[in-house]
Copies of this chain bind each other. A is one copy, B any other.
Amino acid sequence: MTPSSPEVRNRPSTAPEERQFVLTFGCPDSTGIVAKLSSFLAERGGWITEAGYFTDPDSNWFFTRQAIRAESIDTTIEQLREEFAPLAEEFGPRAKWSFTDTAQVKKAVLLVSKEGHCLHDLLGRVAENDYPMEVVAVVGNHENLRYIAENHNVPFFHVPFPKDAVGKRKAFDQVAEIVNGYDPDAIVLARFMQILPPDLCEMWAGRVLNIHHSFLPSFMGARPYHQAYSRGVKLIGATCHYATGDLDDGPIIEQDVIRVTHKDTPSEMQRLGRDAEKQVLARGLRFHLEDRVLVYGNRTVVFD
């Protein structure tokens, strides 16, 4: 694997003035949370550049995401976390939070099969310095997309998937070993076409994103474009969601649709749909990488 050109990048560079500390926080709602959180930041001189708030009326759960200009706070992310921990405890044992530093680039492993459009798209975005991640590895159950990964200087691992259950399970174990070796922030099923076993969904909960080629919950399962064609819909779609043990039923992050007509055959729909898939995956994954997605039950808050 030799770089085809010194200019190929697979890692974004963050300009210092854009570097941010990002807080996500969730706890049972009560009066005064915002005041306490903002006082914490204000006391440290934190310059909030973006803030989102939401309370789920059903569960009465409060969610927030706040982005602070890193330059404005004279401390490290580790120290911030230490100082924030006691405050978080005031909101009870169920409070969940994270503090991240955008200078620490998120790592992703992409799982692919034979179709390369999402892989081309994501690696192209990274190469253009337009996407907040480093692709640390690509795993494919076929060899044919190796060239894309290698052209972008990303290691490609070929793990063949036999048809039998035992062989398939072994293949998944091999995939898991590769993935875990990188400890990635995102594991992306970029049209992987293999159903992730529940234990892997569990192990990687909140880190595995799938792109499904339909507007879920319509057309779950196999061959959604053929299903769409049979039903005669006038729009086809794509859905980016967290993978869970329930096939195509995890929390939805992003969706979009494309208009079709009676003239569009299933293969024409596949072609048109690829554009929706690329876009929806790119948007949904970005939300995830930027800590904009907070999951509650089977739903997501997306602070965009």
Binding site for B on A (CB under 8 A): 4-5, 7-8, 31-32, 34-35, 38-39, 41-42, 45-51, 53-57, 72, 115-117, 120-121, 124-125, 127-128, 130, 144, 146-148, 150-151, 215-219, 230-235, 237, 251-257, 261-263, 265, 271, 274-275, 279, 282, 298-302
Contacts and interface: CB of A to CB of B under 8 A. Distances in A.
A47 B31 contact: yes
8 closest A-B pairs by beta carbon, nearest first, are A5-B147, A120-B124, A232-B299, A32-B42, A35-B38, A151-B151, A34-B38, A35-B42
B217 A231 contact: yes
A34 B146 CA distance: 49
B262 A300 contact: yes
Given A48-B34, A151-B151, A128 B124 contact: no
Contacts of A301: 262
A150 B115 contact: no
A221 B64 CA distance: 35
Contacts of A302: 234, 261-262
Contacts of A275: 279, 282
A218 B130 CA distance: 25
Contact of A72 (B31, B38, B128, B231): B31
Contact of A274 (B34, B130, B263): B130
A256 B232 contact: no
Contacts of A261: 302
A49 B55 contact: yes
A72 B55 CA distance: 15
A232 B298 contact: yes
Nearest to A262: B301
A233 B255 contact: yes
B53 A31 contact: no
Given A217-B218, A217-B231, A232-B300, A115 B128 contact: yes
Contact of A53 (B46, B51, B219, B279): B51
A130 B215 CA distance: 22
A236 B7 CA distance: 30
Nearest to A121: B124
28 contacts: A4-B147, A4-B151, A5-B146, A5-B151, A7-B146, A31-B42, A31-B47, A31-B72, A35-B41, A38-B38, A117-B124, A120-B121, A120-B124, A120-B128, A124-B124, A130-B271, A151-B151, A215-B215, A215-B257, A230-B298, A232-B251, A232-B252, A232-B299, A233-B252, A234-B252, A234-B253, A257-B257, A275-B279
Given A128-B116, A215-B218, A262-B302, A35 B31 contact: no
Contacts of A124: 116-117, 120-121, 124
